Amino acid sequence: MKRYMICLLFFAACNSATDKNNLSSDTVSMQVPQQQVMTDTVKTTLEGSWQLQPVLASDTAAGKIPMLVFDLKSKKFQGNTGCNNMSGSFITSGDSLSFNEQILMTKMACAGYNEAGFIQSLTKVNHFKIEQGVLQLLQDQTILSKWIRKDATVQKKI
């Protein structure tokens, strides 16, 4: 009797494992759009790392390309100005975006770099657009700066 029960349990376990491996084609087709939605979300969200698209030679005068890393959950950002590291908070709703004027920064001196202008530009931002993977920081209708994703994946949390 004991052997009979063990055999019965064994066959039941084998049968349930087979059922899990037989996914329907409907399930597979539903998974692909979800992955696409996740990829599209990464492309259209502020979350992650962005690098400045330099316009003037002075944009990289300190030897680094400025970078911003947004964390939407904590509403905090970090990065560098091209010279000093910085961090702070921001507010966003829809396409509106504003940076808190109290931006924390390291204090290295970088000759030939207008860091004050860079920070002033950030604090003027009142909304953003992401078009074709390019983040535009705007004040009303004026583009203040353009940024590209540093890499295609969402970065670790701050």
pLDDT in tens, 28-86: 434 434 443 334 444 568 999 999 998 766 666 567 889 999 999 999 999 999 889 99
Q: For residue 62, is it within any domain?
A: yes
**What local confidence, expressed as pLDDT, does residue 63 receive?**
72
pLDDT greater at residue 64 or residue 3:
64
pLDDT greater at residue 135 or residue 42:
135
User: How many structural domains does the chain have?
Assistant: 1
Q: For residue 4, is it within any domain?
A: no
What's the CA gap between 116 and 119, in Å, rounded?
5
What is the token pair recorded at 102? 């109290």
Q: For residue 89, is it within any domain?
A: yes
48 DSSP β-pair partners? 70
What is the token pair recorded at 58? 């002075």
pLDDT greater at residue 107 or residue 7:
107
Range of the domain at 116: 44-149
Q: Is the pLDDT of residue 140 over 70?
A: yes
Q: For residue 37, is it within any domain?
A: no
What Cα–Cα distance (Å) separates residue 53 from each residue in 3, 60, 137, 144, 153?
72, 10, 12, 11, 19
pLDDT in tens, 86-121: 999 999 999 999 999 999 999 998 887 888 889 999
State which amino acid sits at residue 124.
K
Q: For residue 9, is it within any domain?
A: no
Q: What is the CATH number of the domain that holds 70?
A: 2.40.128.270
Contact 34, 53 (CB under 8 A): no
**What local confidence, expressed as pLDDT, does residue 38 receive?**
35
Task: Tell me the whole-structure pTM to 2 decimals.
Answer: 0.66
pLDDT greater at residue 131 or residue 11:
131
What Cα–Cα distance (Å) separates residue 79 from each residue in 3, 82, 104, 139?
66, 9, 11, 21
Residue 158 DSSP code = -
pLDDT greater at residue 5 or residue 88:
88
